[in-house]
Amino acid sequence: MRGLRIVLVLLALLLVWLQYRLWFGTGGAGDVARLQGQVAQQAHQNEGLRERNAALAAEVADLKSPTGEAAVEERARSELGMIRPGEVFYRVVESPAAAPLPEPPDSGAGSSP
Residue 14: inside a domain: yes
CA dist list (Å): 63 to 36, 58, 78, 88: 40, 9, 15, 26
Q: Which domain holds residue 66?
A: 2-80
Q: Inform me whether the pLDDT recorded for 61 exceeds 70.
A: yes
Residue 42: inside a domain: yes
Residue 38: inside a domain: yes
How much of the chain exceeds pLDDT 70, in percent?
A: 86
Residue 104: inside a domain: no
Higher pLDDT, 58 or 28: 58
Residue 100: inside a domain: no
Residue 40: inside a domain: yes
Residue 101: inside a domain: no
Q: Is 106 helix (H, G, I), strand (E, B) or coil?
A: coil
Distance CA 19, CA 25 (A): 9
Q: How many domains does the chain divide into?
A: 1
